[in-house]
Amino acid sequence: MTDILVLGGGYTGIAAAIRVAVRTRRIGGTVTLVNASARFTERLRLHQTAAGEKLADHSLKDLLAGTGIRFVQGRVAGLDVGRREARLDDGRVLGYDKLIYALGTVTDASVPGVAEHAHVYDDYAGTKQFAERLAALDGGTAVVAGGGLTGIESATELAEAHPDLHVVLVTRGRPGAMMGEKARAYLDAALERLGVEVRAGVDVAKVLPDAVELAGGELIHSDATLWTTGTSGLPVAAESGLTVDKRGRIVVDSALRSVSHPDVYAVGDAAAVTQPFGVMHGTCQGGIPTGLHAADSLAATLRGKTPKPFRFGYIHQPVSLGRKDGVIQFTRPDDSPRRWFLTGRAAVVYKETVSSSPIPTFKLLKRGLAPVWMFALTAGLA
């Protein structure tokens, strides 16, 4: 009998919990999933929430129905990896034999003023507050900091949803620097069409209540600032003594076990997973496969078998440009751009298919199956 505790009910925690429940059904024991909210947060749609869109409400209990997984709503405040216990902020303590850590990341707020004055995508409630603030503005200016995919999706979504709002995208490099030249040209044209002012090649030194201050002292007025420049692991991992990388993510071996505490598996954004091309960056595309693999590794270990090494290769960088446009850059397994990309209506349909795929994936996993695209991602092409 083994008690398995899954921390985090995002994309990867749910996938891991369902898979491990199915794979250990005959072994016996319990699977418990802990999450701060009772509602499943579709993180990859938070820019839609920021723009004021009402999304479907998925309760975690419903998503886990029929699996035998116990759901506990609570916020994890500490981990004792020696005693194998997780402590919640209300004092409850949950013991485990094996742990799957899937708590994701939080926004890196190391730039002065971010914690006090910027909005971030750390949870649904905070994003909703940002949406309400924008809705209350009469015109005004919103600054989006960060020219990665999250910043681009946010700037375009806000500009489209609020035509009176002046949106400024502030970024150190070029927006979409990771994409191929042609896809990037399409992206630049879309930003211009939507009226987004791009300030590329600049560093934000400070966020103020009504402005962002660039290195060099220039002030850009901002009625609402969104910070999307980077994330790091929750302090709970490092504080527990688990080995973490410099971004606070749990360092794992090829079976996705913590290199310091093999009873702990780490998945998704919270894990530092090394592949031949380097350490994976946080995406749902890569996160769900890690959740499934950790579950398989854990089940294999309980059966006395040797877990297989995790293999992963990227296939795309899917970017929405508001609700009516998008650009999908297809990639090599190491995430470098291929020649092929999609734009316009085809990209919108593709992106929506990607964004809505986790819910049917959870349903398939409950039946012991996995979607076909999962095999493409984990075929060992990397």
Ligand X SMILES: Cc1cc2nc3c(=O)[nH]c(=O)nc-3n(C[C@H](O)[C@H](O)[C@H](O)COP(=O)(O)OP(=O)(O)OC[C@H]3O[C@@H](n4cnc5c(N)ncnc54)[C@H](O)[C@@H]3O)c2cc1C
Q: Rule CB under 6 A: choose which of 41, 67, 156, 171 binds ligand X.
A: 41
The residue of the chain with the least Cβ separation from ligand X equals 10
> Hey, which residues between 297 and 336 contact ligand X (CB under 6 A)?
318
CA distances in angstroms from 226 to 18, 57, 170, 327, listed in the order given: 34, 24, 10, 22
Q: How far is the CB of 189 from ligand X (least distance, A)?
A: 20
Q: Give the contact letters, 220-259, x = binds to ligand X (CB under 6 A), - = no.
A: --------------x-------------------------
Stretch that binds ligand X, among 188-196, 264-272, 303-311, 327-335 (CB under 6 A): 264-272
Give yes or no for residue 103 binding ligand X (CB under 6 A).
Answer: yes
Q: Cβ closer to ligand X: 153 or 160?
A: 153
Those residues with Cβ within 8 angstroms of residue 155's Cβ, 6 or more apart along the chain or in another chain: 144, 167, 169, 191, 194, 196
106-165: which residues touch ligand X (CB under 6 A)?
121, 123, 150, 153
Q: Which of 4, 12, 223, 233 binds ligand X (CB under 6 A)?
A: 12
- Coil, strand, or helix at residue 166? strand
Name beta bridge partners: 233: 105
Binding positions for ligand X, 278-297, rule CB under 6 A? 282-285, 287
76 binds ligand X (CB under 6 A): yes
> Residue 6 corresponds to which tokens in the numbers above?
């899954």
86: Cα within 13 Å, side-chain hemisphere: 27
| Among the listed residues 7, 19, 21, the one whose alpha carbon sits nearest the alpha carbon of residue 94 | 7
Of 94 and 168, CB closest to ligand X: 94
Cα–Cα distances in angstroms (integers) from residue 186 to residues 191, 320, 327, 355, in the given order:
9, 12, 8, 21
Structure tokens at 171: 């970024």
Residue 251, strand partner residues: 272
Task: With CB under 6 A as the rule, give the number of residues binding ligand X.
Answer: 34
Which residues contact ligand X (rule: CB under 6 A)?
A: 8-13, 34-37, 41, 43-44, 46-47, 75-76, 102-104, 121, 123, 150, 153, 234, 268-270, 282-285, 287, 318
